[in-house]
């Protein structure tokens, strides 16, 4: 059992899901998503299960994302395996978003990409002093999927757009202040918290509240006005221009960061978030991200981003197009276009 990449069991009325791939920082693959889905479906109608707790083995982090190497290798071909993974992963994200029983996610350590996708749908999202949150996809030629198009534009002001475009990393004080995570609990109290959740499986909100402590001052609080003013535009070119015109040390640092990202990914991500903000349902958002996912993984920038950051680790990707002007609206239209009949993403029935 300990060799399984996901451990699922029921304890004292709590359905427990433990990510168990610590050497890979619990990066998600298709089998892991299927195991979580099977457990959640089995517990959904089981009166003996009152709530669900998602955590991870080891101390290195909650989940660093999806299995990027597999996705890139598939994208170098026909992307069929990547699309199959996205289909299952996004169905899991949606199942969690619509789940009728309370979900608690203990996000102790690194949480990025796919890890965000399986923690943000939970009503109780617990961060610790070891939590580091980021959506760093524009740095590898991708976009913030797994529901990023829904969750990020619903953060205060334009903070979600800033996080998505820059890939900025946040600690718990900021994630709790922004509502990304619901509670801060020191890592040393997490085991006691889990025991309390098992003792009171019907009310994880009350348990989390009883353990929660102040996370400390949030550095982004002082930045929200600037973020709201400088990232409110509907084109990446306008955001670049606003940052340059502002001229402050912080604005120029953001601009310098953005210039290292894939121009294609920046434009895809900004359009994704503007569309996601107006989506009528989470399922509609996931269908959009599925269209994007199967296409973006086949692009030069994703292949090059994974090479530079994950494979060779030289961190010097050669983006193509190399600048924003080279990414046209027609290019974006092709990436966002509906899929042929019968190929669109749909939720689990």
| Closest by CA position to 220, among listed 160, 153, 273, 276 | 160
Cβ atoms of 254 and 166 closer than 8 Å: yes
User: Quick one: angle between helices 159-166 and 249-258, nearest 10?
Assistant: 50
**Set 61, 65, 66, 139: catalytic member:** 66
Is 114 one of the annotated active-site residues of the chain? yes
Is 66 one of the annotated active-site residues of the chain? yes
In eight-state DSSP terms, residue 133 is E
The DSSP result for 135-168, as a single string, is: --GGGGT----TTHHHHGGGSSTTHHHHHHHH--
- Rounded CA-CA distance 150/191 in Å is 32
- Rounded CA-CA distance 346/55 in Å is 27
Residue 71's CB is within 10 A of a number of other CB atoms, namely: 23
Is 137 one of the annotated active-site residues of the chain? yes
Q: Are strands 183-184 and 14-19 parallel, antiparallel or unpaired?
A: unpaired
Structure tokens at 263: 């121009």
Using the CB atoms, write b or e for 27-63: b if 16+ within 10 Å: bbbbebbebbbebbeebeeeeebbbbbbbbeeebbbb
**Set 55, 137, 289, 304: catalytic member:** 137
| Closest by CA position to 289, among listed 163, 123, 164, 180 | 164
3-class DSSP state for residue 19?
Answer: strand
The residues facing 17 across adjacent strands are: 8, 54
- Rounded CA-CA distance 320/331 in Å is 12
**Cβ contacts of 12 within 8 Å, gap of 6 or more:** 198, 199, 201
**Set 145, 174, 301, 304: catalytic member:** 145
**Cβ contacts of 166 within 8 Å, gap of 6 or more:** 138, 254, 257, 258, 261
Is 145 one of the annotated active-site residues of the chain? yes
**Set 114, 117, 141, 149: catalytic member:** 114
Q: Which residues are catalytic?
A: 66, 114, 137, 145
């Amino acid at each position: 059992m300990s060799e399984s990449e996901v451990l699922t069991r029921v304890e004292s009325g709590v359905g427990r899901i433990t990510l168990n791939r610590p050497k890979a920082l619990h990066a998600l693959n298709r089998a892991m998503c299927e195991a979580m889905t099977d457990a959640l479906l089995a517990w959904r109608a089981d009166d003996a299960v009152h709530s669900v707790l998602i955590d991870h083995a080891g101390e290195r982090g909650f989940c660093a994302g999806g299995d990027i190497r597999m996705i890139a290798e598939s994208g170098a071909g026909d992307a069929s395996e990547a699309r199959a993974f996205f289909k299952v992963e996004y169905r899991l994200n949606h199942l969690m978003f619509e789940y009728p029983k309370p979900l608690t996610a203990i996000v102790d350590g690194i949480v990025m990409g796919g890890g965000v996708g399986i923690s943000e749908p939970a009503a109780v999202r617990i961060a610790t002093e070891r939590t580091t949150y980021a959506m760093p996809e524009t740095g590898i030629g991708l976009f913030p999927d797994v529901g990023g198009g829904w969750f990020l534009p619903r953060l205060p002001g334009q903070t979600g757009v800033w996080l998505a475009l820059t890939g900025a990393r946040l600690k718990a004080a900021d994630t709790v202040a922004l509502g990304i995570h619901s509670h801060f609990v020191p890592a040393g109290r997490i085991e006691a918290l889990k025991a309390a959740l098992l003792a009171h499986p019907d009310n994880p909100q009350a348990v989390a509240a009883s353990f929660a402590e102040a996370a400390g001052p949030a550095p982004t609080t002082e930045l929200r006005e600037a973020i709201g003013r400088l990232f409110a535009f509907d084109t990446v070119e306008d955001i670049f221009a606003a940052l340059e015109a502002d001229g402050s040390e912080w604005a120029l640092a953001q601009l310098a960061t953005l210039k290292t990202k894939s121009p294609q990914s920046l434009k895809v991500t900004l359009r994704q978030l503007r569309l996601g903000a107006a989506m009528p349902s989470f399922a509609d958002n996931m269908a959009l991200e599925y269209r994007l996912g199967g296409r973006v993984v086949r692009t030069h920038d994703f292949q090059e981003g994974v090479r530079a950051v994950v494979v060779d680790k030289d961190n010097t990707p050669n983006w193509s197009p190399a600048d924003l002007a080279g990414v046209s609206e027609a290019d974006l239209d092709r990436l966002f276009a509906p899929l042929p009949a019968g190929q669109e993403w749909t939720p689990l029935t």
